[in-house]
């Protein structure tokens, strides 16, 4: 006889059975039964955030740094609507999340009851899937399916909407069983025919390029290791997307750095000029392709993706390979070895020589100063002074600081870099750092932040205080919404409409108010001391680094431009005005 229990107890049991250790949440009327069940047990830890958006971002940080599904628990109405940005962020960046939302009792649904929202309606386009549970006897099965869907195939967020009467009803609990999942069977094993076609192209490429993305990270450390093996076997150059950083160690000599709008010159030019592009787990995002019509005109393209809908969406490819990155890499390596792959040393050397010519431009170079702190300098020093540490996790907010961090912080391992790529959510970094630190209590977790972004979820400092998390917020403070300012400078005649933040808080005092340590650097010679003091402090820190407010992020492919129209620095910008088509692009 299966166990009878309350719906709320089933929720807890299902979470535990699904291997959840921590749930990020915020209570409210509709989820009180779950919080009551939570109170009566000690297997599941709850982290109380200060805003539901923070709960989802924290769960994202947790998920991306552990490879597990992040769990969120919020109440009905505003609890659910506040979670929407986080859910959309997780959808865009393929982060596995299960978000439980409270709902008014079933008999009140549709009555505009207090704190009622059409949660499944609102979250339908911003989740991978969602459920409204209307029968306590299917609650457990629904929970298990939610976890299965969140982590299978291309991962994503799943919402389970739980009416209060269901939580208080008694029913039968069903144990998890993935074999019982009859629907949603994503393809993970690649078609051998496609592998052969891909291998054949790789055998004969003269100017090849690997283009790795977040799919490698999502597939896991094993896939990243296989990716490294493939790169080593072929000797091909490799570039990574914002979501893929860490998939290949940055110290690998074949690594060309970040690709895309603010990627390195060598990455973008190699992409433009290659004759074979091997995309593994990236999605030809517009931040990477620039003008689609001028994207890598002379190349054959192999696209490996677990999501068939990513293939041929933006860019027509020659060899589509649907499957899990790890499984594909394994098959591809085996096929290449069976075909006795040998590096075409002569062509490869010529290709590398071309690439080295682009590298010589030193596209990440910036004008150093001993009077004012350059934001790039601050991040370079942060990287230099944390290099020896064993585990360093970096989260970011969104904007210039994010791009500089992506350019200058070098990742040797996957799953140590959490950033909001697809959605570009300001306010992501601090709550994400909460989630990472909860998952890795002894690691160094730094939110490389902008002063504008961090204010969007600054309330999470209170969460950091409550759980004594030693999160370091490293604010690259230029007093502007820097990326907005940069675009206004380049596209709108320097009319800085509303991008300057007057009345910023005193971040040192703000740190103090939240029981954290506040530090400030205003001159270049203070940067090292502040970073060292930040690292030495065993609690939370806000380091406010006052940087050059006018510094722009280069290189930059202006919107609507091709890769070979990349701007290297301020001197380049006057020469190429942005096209009219480019102006309408984001």
**Which positions lie near other proteins, rule CB under 8 A?**
120-121, 124-125, 128-130, 132, 149, 153-154, 183-184, 186, 307-309, 311-313, 316
The residue from 4, 41, 45, 114 that is catalytic is: 114
Smallest distance, Å, CB 261 to other proteins? 23
Complex with other proteins: residue 318 or 354, whichever CB lies closer? 318
Write out the two tokens for 574. 């006057």
**C-alpha span between 315 and 461 (Å, rounded):** 42
Q: Comparing C-alpha atoms, which of 3, 23, 1, 25 is closest to residue 12?
A: 23
Beta bridge partners of 276: 208, 300
| Other beta carbons within 10 Å of 495 | 9
- CB within 8 Å of 533: residues ≥ 6 apart: 517, 519, 541
Smallest distance, Å, CB 171 to other proteins? 19
The residue from 68, 128, 164, 207 that is catalytic is: 164
Complex with other proteins: residue 154 or 287, whichever CB lies closer? 154
H or E element, residue 45:
strand 45-48
Beta bridge partners of 301: 277
Respond yes or no: is residue 359 known to be catalytic.
Answer: no
Complex with other proteins: residue 128 or 151, whichever CB lies closer? 128
**Do the beta carbons of residue 302 and residue 318 sit within 8 Å?**
yes
Smallest distance, Å, CB 301 to other proteins? 14
**Do the beta carbons of residue 238 and residue 261 sit within 8 Å?**
no
- DSSP letter for each residue of 291-353: SGGGSSTT-EEEEEES-GGGTTSSS--SEEEES-HHHHHHHHHHHHHHTT----HHHHHHHHH
Smallest distance, Å, CB 135 to other proteins? 12
Complex with other proteins: residue 81 or 462, whichever CB lies closer? 81
Buried-exposed string 171-191: b where 16+ CB fall within 10 A, e elsewhere: bbbbebeeeeeeeeeeebebe
The residue from 277, 403, 483, 556 that is catalytic is: 483
Complex with other proteins: residue 129 or 410, whichever CB lies closer? 129
- DSSP letter for each residue of 86-126: HHHHHHHTT--EEEEEEE--GGGTTS--TT---HHHHHGGG
The residue from 21, 115, 197, 526 that is catalytic is: 115
How many distinct helices (H) and strands (E) make up the chain? Answer: 24, 20
Smallest distance, Å, CB 182 to other proteins? 9
Respond yes or no: is residue 295 known to be catalytic.
Answer: no
Complex with other proteins: residue 186 or 539, whichever CB lies closer? 186
| Other beta carbons within 10 Å of 212 | 32
Smallest distance, Å, CB 129 to other proteins? 4
Respond yes or no: is residue 52 known to be catalytic.
Answer: yes
Largest CA distance in the chain: 77
Smallest distance, Å, CB 156 to other proteins? 10
Write out the two tokens for 74. 């919020």
Respond yes or no: is residue 413 known to be catalytic.
Answer: no
Respond yes or no: is residue 24 known to be catalytic.
Answer: no
Complex with other proteins: residue 232 or 292, whichever CB lies closer? 292
Catalytic positions are 52, 114-115, 164, 483
């Amino acid at each position: 006889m299966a166990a009878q229990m309350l719906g709320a107890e089933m929720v807890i049991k299902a979470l535990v059975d699904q291997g959840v250790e921590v749930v990020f949440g915020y209570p409210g009327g509709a989820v009180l039964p779950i919080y009551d069940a939570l109170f009566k047990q000690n297997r599941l830890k709850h982290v109380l955030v200060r805003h539901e958006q923070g709960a989802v971002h924290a769960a994202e940080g947790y998920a991306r740094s552990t490879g597990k599904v992040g769990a969120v628990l919020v109440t009905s109405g505003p609890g659910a609507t506040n979670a929407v940005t986080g859910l959309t962020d997780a959808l865009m960046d393929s982060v596995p999340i299960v978000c439980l939302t409270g709902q008014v009792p079933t008999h009140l649904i549709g009555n505009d009851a207090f704190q009622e929202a059409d949660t499944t309606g609102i979250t339908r386009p911003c989740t991978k899937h969602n459920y409204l549970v209307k029968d306590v006897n299917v609650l457990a099965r629904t929970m298990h399916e939610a976890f299965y869907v969140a982590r299978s195939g291309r991962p994503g967020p799943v919402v389970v909407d739980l009416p209060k009467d269901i939580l208080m009803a008694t029913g039968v609990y069903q144990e998890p069983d993935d074999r019982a999942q009859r629907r949603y069977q994503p393809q993970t094993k690649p078609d051998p025919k496609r592998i052969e076609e891909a291998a054949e192209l790789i055998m004969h490429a003269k100017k090849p390029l690997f283009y790795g993305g977040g799919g490698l990270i999502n597939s896991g450390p094993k896939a990243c290791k296989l990716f490294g093996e493939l790169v080593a076997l072929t000797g091909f150059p490799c570039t990574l997307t914002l979501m893929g950083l860490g998939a290949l160690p940055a110290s690998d000599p074949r690594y060309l750095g970040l690709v895309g709008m603010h990627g390195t010159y060598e990455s973008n030019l190699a992409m433009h000029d290659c004759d074979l592009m091997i995309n593994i787990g990236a999605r030809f995002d517009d931040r990477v392709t620039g003008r689609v019509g001028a994207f890598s005109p002379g190349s054959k393209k192999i696209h490996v993706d677990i999501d068939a809908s990513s293939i041929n969406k933006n860019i027509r490819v020659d060899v589509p390979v649907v499957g899990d990155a790890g499984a594909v890499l394994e098959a591809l390596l085996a096929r290449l070895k069976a075909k006795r792959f040998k590096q075409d040393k002569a062509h490869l050397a010529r290709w590398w020589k071309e690439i080295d010519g682009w590298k010589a431009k030193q596209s990440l170079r910036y004008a150093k100063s001993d009077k004012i702190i350059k934001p790039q300098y601050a991040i370079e020093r942060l990287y230099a002074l944390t290099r020896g540490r064993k585990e360093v996790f970096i989260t970011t907010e969104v904007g210039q600081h994010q791009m500089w961090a992506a350019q200058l912080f070098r990742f040797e391992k996957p799953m140590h870099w959490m950033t909001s790529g697809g959605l570009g959510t300001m306010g992501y970094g601090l709550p994400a750092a909460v989630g990472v630190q909860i998952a890795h209590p002894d690691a160094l977790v730094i939110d490389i932040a902008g002063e504008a972004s961090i204010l969007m979820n600054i309330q999470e400092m209170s969460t950091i205080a409550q759980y004594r998390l030693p999160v370091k917020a490293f604010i690259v403070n230029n007093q502007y919404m820097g990326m907005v300012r940069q675009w206004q400078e380049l596209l709108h005649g320097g009319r800085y409409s509303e991008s300057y933040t007057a009345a910023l808080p005193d971040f040192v005092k703000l740190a103090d108010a939240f029981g954290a340590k506040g530090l400030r650097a205003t001159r270049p010679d203070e940067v090292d001391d502040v970073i060292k003091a930040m690292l030495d402090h065993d609690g939370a820190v806000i380091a406010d680094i006052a940087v050059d407010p006018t510094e722009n992020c280069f290189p930059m492919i202006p919107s609507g431009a091709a890769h070979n129209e990349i701007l290297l620095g301020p001197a380049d910008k006057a020469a190429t005005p942005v096209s009219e088509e480019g102006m309408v692009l984001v």
